[in-house]
A and B are shown apart, each in its own frame.
Chain A
Amino acid sequence: MLLDRNGGFRPDSWRHLADDEAPADGEAVTISFKRWQAEPERWSDRTRPLGLRLSNDVPPAAFGPAATRFALIVLNFPRFIDGRAYSQARLLRGRFGFKGELRAGGNVLRDQLMFMARCGFDSFEVDAERARAENWPQAFREFEQFYQPAADRRETILRQRLRSWQTAAE
């Protein structure tokens, strides 16, 4: 089940192809980065919504330039303490202009959701039963303001202060 950044649950409509599986015509599928790299021409016919699954050790220079080709990118958290995909997400959004759906897979837990959402993730692969029981959607709303600029483009506390000082000075 997927949890959205707005707090809603929905089923996953994508099929995640193993490297030796073939897609049906027009079907929305994700493929691994390895498969994309091996045969980019096969997947560039644009006859289907295409998604990419990226492991967290792929350097930005390798995946960044092709990012806009995909409608969905799934980043992976093998363990919740492994935070490499946060940087991948920031770069996809901030540098490589990725506007599609950015999804977090793997060891996704409640208390990381806020960080992930701020880094640009839209959806999260979760255990829906647990997520509902523990009210995970609330995790997106625990803080109103933040200090750092991030992919959510919220105005930072610093910028808000600056604005209020300037207003006061006028």
Chain B
Amino acid sequence: MALYRYDEFDRKFLEERVAQYRDQVRRRLAGQLSEDEFRSLRLMNGLYLQLHAYMLRISIPYGTLSSAQLRGLAHVARRWDKGYGHFTTRQNIQYHWIRLEDTPDILAHLATVQLHGIQTSGNSFRNITTDPFAGAAADEIEDPRPYGEIVRQWSALHPEFSFLPRKFKIVLNAAPDDRAAVKIHDLGLNLRRNEKGELGFEVLVGGGLGRTPILAQTVRDFVPRRDVLAYITACLRVYNQYGRRDNLFKSRVKILVQSLGIEKYRQEVEAEYAAMGVEREELDLPDAVVAAMQAQFAAPSYPDASGDEAELNQALAAEPDFARWVKYNVKPHKAAGHAIVVVSLKQPGKVTGDCSASQMELLAELADRLSFGEIRITHDQNMVLPHVRKAALYDLWLQLGAAGLATPNIGLASDIICCPGMDYCSLATARSIPIAQALATNLAQREQEIGPLQIKISGCINACGHHHVGHIGILGLEKNGAESYQITVGGSDNAQAALGGIVGPAVAAHEVTATVDRLIDVYLRLRRDGEQFPDTYRRVGLAPFKEALVVAR
């Protein structure tokens, strides 16, 4: 297995962080810190106070876990929570039933497997996310994760940027087919080559959803690889000085970029970057550092598996259910005879993104046996075994199936993104989990006929469920004391990212399923060969979808 291993510096740093946090909790419990003062400290370690209990959010950097780390997460679920965890749209895991007093021990335990909650909340850098197929995908330029680790380290307890106007999410992508939703992040880094064949990054700034959804724009087409930390510093410094702090809802960098305009923001960043001088040298990223980091993520030595196809084909022919699972949940791998397996956490009727300790332990074991000890978390709340031999797929399918983890629905209608909503979250204005459950159960029957479809549900305007970029987006609102749901169509979060359009007045909870059915019917009626929902929407516009709902009313 080749994943980043902490050295003595990293270990010491994290131990010191846990000790510091332990002391902060002690001071809070002793009454030396007010809740207001403690709040920002606990948030910087990922601890929220929610409706029923504390919630602890643990960062899964660039969505990659070793089997040992996944076992560590399972242990926390079993010992300190109710036996499960919740994987989020930001490649994090959340525990929703945590006691404040236990949190230092939990973080100390996680530190032994190189995991932490540093900056999983608060107005600073959040978890660095990337393509869940990184290092395995056939279409990537390079594995983006070494850069993810470099940025993770650079951003950890940053002295200048720990009290930004608002949170700041960085995303990395190294493939033409954007599987990381780059344009809905505060800062996106697209790895690319220039005409001379040199590596560098396109830098995008100012994406985000929430109550003002905006897609990120390019600040610079190409920043040489060695200058990337300096350039990001310039982007952040402009934001730290000029981002709004008077209104929580206008304080993300997207609002700054929008109000200055991308041209003016770019000028400010370029001026700052040009003036950096010695700081630029200090932030220089030498090739030797990149090479050493890449060595840590070196691809496993895949066995010769070229004979695996025949065996797989036999199983496919013999077992239609297996063939269906392979069709939707298995993706192409760069190594011959291997495949990427997406493990669905979306069994209809279950809570989106939830995973029990036993399921985590099973996946850790399967990863050890069949996937070089690696697991990934996806931003659409599934898990991935990234390096599976094709000959092992059938056995893997049987074992996943026995644990309720082989629902053949990746990318289909029942593979719904959904935030925890009012069942857990103190910000929510409506429930989202029961809506997702009802939709998944209803659509599972005809989802193969529908084909690829992304439904995304948020329980409030903060848009953790990314509803604006769902092919069908559902936003839970509260109107006169009742839950109601606003529906959008035509959004997309890939390289052709787009925000959806509102189809009409919000509907009541019990009307959501029928409304979504009608919208899907319009799409099925109007789509041309090969068109996905957003393609049809781009061609026909909002009107046919609106009309269908008006007629129904």
Contacts and interface: CB of A to CB of B under 8 A. Distances in A.
Interface string B270-283: 00000111110011
B245 A82 contact: yes
A162 B286 contact: yes
A7 interface: no
Per DSSP, are chain B's interface residues mostly helix, strand or loop, or mixed?
helix
Contacts of B41: 111
Interface residues of B, number: 42
Nearest to A59: B241
Contacts of A133: 32
Given A115-B159, A145-B13, A95 B289 contact: no
B162 A115 contact: yes
Q: How large is the interface on A (under 10, 10 to 19, 20 to 34, 35 or more residues)?
A: 35 or more
A150 interface: yes
Nearest to A88: B241
Interface of B: 7, 9-10, 12-13, 16-17, 19-20, 24, 27, 32, 37, 40-41, 123, 153-154, 156-164, 237, 240-241, 245, 275-279, 282-283, 286, 288-289, 292
A115 B161 CA distance: 9
B159 A118 contact: yes
Given A81-B163, A145-B9, A145-B12, A87 B237 contact: yes
A161 B40 contact: no
B13 A119 contact: no
Contacts of A84: 240-241, 245
Given A95-B277, A134-B27, A148-B158, A83 B9 contact: no
Contacts of B240: 83-84, 86-87
A157 B153 contact: yes
A95 B275 contact: yes
A123 B305 CA distance: 64
A144 B12 contact: yes
Contacts, number: 105
B164 A83 contact: yes
Contacts of A114: 159
Contacts of B277: 94-95
A90 interface: yes
23 contacts: A60-B241, A81-B40, A83-B161, A83-B163, A83-B240, A86-B159, A86-B240, A88-B241, A90-B237, A95-B275, A95-B279, A114-B159, A142-B16, A145-B9, A146-B157, A148-B154, A149-B282, A149-B283, A150-B160, A157-B9, A157-B153, A161-B9, A161-B289
Contacts of B161: 83, 86
Interface in A106-157: 109, 111-112, 114-116, 118-119, 133-134, 142-150, 156-157
Contacts of A86: 159-163, 240
A160 interface: yes
Interface of A: 59-60, 80-84, 86-88, 90, 94-95, 109, 111-112, 114-116, 118-119, 133-134, 142-150, 156-158, 160-162, 165-166
A94 B13 CA distance: 25
B153 A87 contact: no
Contacts of B32: 133-134
A133 B30 CA distance: 12
A3 B17 CA distance: 23
Nearest to A164: B7
Contacts of B245: 82, 84
A166 B289 CA distance: 11
Given A81-B40, A149-B282, A160 B9 contact: yes
Contact of B160 (A80, A119, A144, A157): A119
Contacts of A80: 37, 40, 163
A84 B240 CA distance: 6
Nearest to A119: B159
A78 to B, nearest CB: 9
10 tightest A-B CB contacts, nearest first: A83-B163, A118-B159, A149-B282, A157-B9, A147-B153, A115-B159, A86-B160, A142-B20, A87-B240, A150-B159
A109 B38 CA distance: 11
Given A134-B32, A157-B13, A90 B19 contact: no
A160 B164 CA distance: 28
Nearest to B123: A81
Contact of B162 (A83, A88, A143, A147): A83
A165 B292 contact: yes
Nearest to B9: A157
Contacts of A116: 159
B377 to A, nearest CB: 24
Contacts of A165: 288, 292
